[in-house]
Structure 1
Amino acid sequence: MALYVMKFGGSSVGDTERMKRVAKRIAEKQDEGHQCVVVVSAMGDTTDDLIDQARLLNEEPPTRELDMLMTNGEQISIAMLSIALHAIGRKAVSYTGWQAGFRTESVFGKARITDIRPDKVKKALDEGHIVVVAGFQGMTEDFEITTFGRGGSDTTAVALAAAIEADVCEIYTDVDGIYSTDPRVVKVARKLQEISYDEMLELANLGAAVLHPRAVEYAKHHQVRLVVRSSFNYNEGTVVKEEANMEQGVVVSGIAFDKNVARISILGVSHIPGVLAKVFGSLAKAQIDVDIIVQSGVTDGKADFSFTVALTDRERAIQVIEGIREDLPFSEVNFEDNLVKISIVGAGMVSHPGVAAQMFEVISQQGVNIKMVSTSEIKVSCVIDNNKLQEVVAALHTAYNLDTQEQAFVGGPQDRR
């Protein structure tokens, strides 16, 4: 008998028919003799719908009230799934994130887990229940409700798996594993049998939406056996592990892209010590993550530099910069949207020179200019205009020998097993 944590995303529980199929899937796992803890997201587009309604009332809703609002989506899902399990004769109990023992820091919208006290979960398992836990949410020591950021249900599942020492954490989604790129963009994307934590973490941070970056961090730190598979079929998924076997001749494992990108440029800044510390320290205090940073040459004691932030953080970032103008005079601040960051990732890149040069050549052949570049040992990222995204991704995918003969599986309601 093994202890499984099974996480189902919003598309997997998007309506009552899908909810019934998920309940059947969980019951099958239990019939194999395993204990099951299930983590679920909000049904379908529930969270987006709630946010849209809030913004009809207030264009900038208070972050505390948004967290109060958004956690309701997951609470609906856990109750519905528990009801579906009871309908097929299973003992099940649903818990919110805080009932399951998740304690967080006092940051609304992007809270990090500080502690997990899973006593109720363990007790319910000992009593023979299937335990259904709301993803994406926790509570501070002062009893304030918080959320972990979009995609945070993955983090809930992996962190809970570590806390209860589960044998496996399975992430169920609408694709049947981790692919070399988004199979909705490249139909001949390659399904990976396994991938290392480090490669997966890079892909997740760079825009691959199949796993949340914090979930991969938890899995790596606590050595959680992580499997990504489809809720619409029974195919073998992709195993995320410490060391993955590198396929013969494949240097790049995956291609990720992120359309949530804005470039901000600050022009005419005095070239004196402490300038960058002032700018990026102020952004950090505002909880704004900065990605790629590029500084141009110095002319007459003045410098220009640019950096990227999430498109959703662009307005706040500009407000922060304008707020330090008196302490740090500059001539102009501007921004550019309609950008995408495309990245290649692979552990094999360390020992293969020329991988970046090939990427630059492929992008130029598509008639696209590269605006910014960032590299590490196992990745190269380029910021480009968004208007040729699909063509660039497909060309890179072919150039790095990632194409397959079979079309990738993307699940849907027609897959009924």
Structure 2
Amino acid sequence: EYDVVVSSGEQVTSGLLALTLQSMGCKARSWLGWQLPVKTVESHAKARVDAIDSPDMIASLERGEIAVIPGFQGISSDGRVTTMGRGGSDTSAVAVAAAINADRCDIYTDVDGVYTTDPRIVAKAHKQKAVTYEEMLELASVGAKVLQTRSVSLAMKEGVRIQVLSSFLGDDAIPADELPGTMIVSDEEMDQLVEKGDMERQLVTGIAHDKNEAKITLTRVPDKPGAVAHIFEPLADASINVDMIIQNVGRDKGETDVTFTVPQADLARAQALLEDRRDDIGFNRIITDSQIAKISVVGVGMKSHAGVASTMFRALSERGINIQAISTSEIKVSVLIDEDETELAVRVLHTAYGLDAAEGKA
């Protein structure tokens, strides 16, 4: 019933927008999630799009009607309204674009594109003309708030290009090739842009930061098979996402310290779950720290170039910034540092990777 309530706002707004378009002389109609329908895998408040049956909507579009579709919602296999949680409207838009084989999906938000870092921290941060799906996924997962990971993941799966634009642009029509936002594209399309000279491939695409994580350390965990599973199984069952994980060499033989991060909002719940499992896990103490930040360097150029991590570590050390933990992927390096040093770290790394002077490149 909660999903029915929270989805009502989008339904009302869709009808109002359709009425407004009609008053302007446009042919328009609203399509609610159950009318298309947007079929979802049932998980209320966190539903995932499974399929969209769009023949009726396509026929409506072919008649010249504007389709006004509420985002964020769908219908389960048993006919119940479901909602998709945070970022659900972006995911809905990408799913509809894929269903009708659209050339691209334009998403209007409160920023006008993807920047090399937060321009509120680094005045020289600049907007990227294009980034790849992989880069956007990594940036979204480590703190960049332009798009949610689910919408980017779906776009990559379905091959839908996403254009990120500002909701506060003027009313003048802009040709597609002159859109002022950032295009999210495949690796192949990015390579084509580079070959044409429209883009210049950078080693690093962006620097992201996230202050919404907390660190948990369990001391003197028995160093034996199954011990780590006992730690993370209850967290997974409670839908608590664990990010960076480090297993340290213990002070005593047969014991180890395990450190990991969780969302700050889940810290108290995670701590309580672990305390309940203390006897099963066998740890000595729980040490928590919510005054941390995760700083991440992202770029597909890392796939073919060595030294990205060492540049990061050297630049931070030269400014006296201590690294508490490290994690990597094929195109990302993340570190944990004290929260108070977040802005300094972002500025230092933006300069270290030459992004201050890279305006207009990608």
TM-score of the superposed pair, with normalisation by structure 2: 0.87
Q: Does 1:185 align with 2:126?
A: no
Which letter maps to 1:227? Q
1:236 paired residue number: 180
| Pairs within 5 Å for 1:7-406 | 65=2, 67-233=3-169, 234=174, 235-243=179-187, 244-245=190-191, 248=200, 250-298=202-250, 299-404=252-357
CA contact (8 A) 1:121 1:131 kept: yes
SS in 2 for 1:182: coil
Instruction: Say if 1:232 and 1:363 are closer, same or farther in 2 by CA, change over 3 A.
Output: same
More displaced stretch, 203-212 vs 282-291: 282-291
Q: CA deviation at 1:156?
A: 0.9
CA contact (8 A) 1:189 1:404 kept: no
Q: CA deviation at 1:395?
A: 1.9
Query: What is the identity percentage for the equivalent residue pairs of Structure 1 and Structure 2?
Result: 45
Q: CA deviation at 1:120?
A: 4.3
Q: Find the aligned partners of 2:279 and 2:110 in 1 and give their Cα distance.
A: 50
Instruction: Number of aligned residue pairs: give it.
Output: 343
SS in 2 for 1:291: coil
Q: CA deviation at 1:381?
A: 0.4
Q: Deviations over 1:203-243 (max 9, x none)?
A: 11111111111111111111112211223235432221112
Q: CA deviation at 1:102?
A: 1.9
CA contact (8 A) 2:201 2:301 kept: no
Q: CA deviation at 1:175?
A: 2.6
Q: CA deviation at 1:134?
A: 1.5
Which letter maps to 2:270? A
SS in 2 for 1:370: coil
Instruction: Say if 1:218 and 1:405 are closer, same or farther in 2 by CA, change over 3 A.
Output: closer
SS in 2 for 1:226: strand
Q: CA deviation at 1:119?
A: 4.0
More displaced stretch, 221-230 vs 362-371: 362-371
Q: How much is the aligned-residue C-alpha RMSD, in angstroms? A: 2.3
Q: Find the aligned partners of 1:202 and 1:223 in 2 and give their Cα distance.
A: 17
Q: CA deviation at 1:270?
A: 1.5
1:27 paired residue number: none
SS in 2 for 1:312: helix
Q: Find the aligned partners of 1:370 and 1:386 in 2 and give their Cα distance.
A: 11
- The answer for unaligned runs of 5 or more in structure 2 is none
TM-score of the superposed pair, with normalisation by structure 1: 0.76
Instruction: Say if 1:142 and 1:200 are closer, same or farther in 2 by CA, change over 3 A.
Output: same
Q: Find the aligned partners of 2:345 and 2:162 in 1 and give their Cα distance.
A: 31
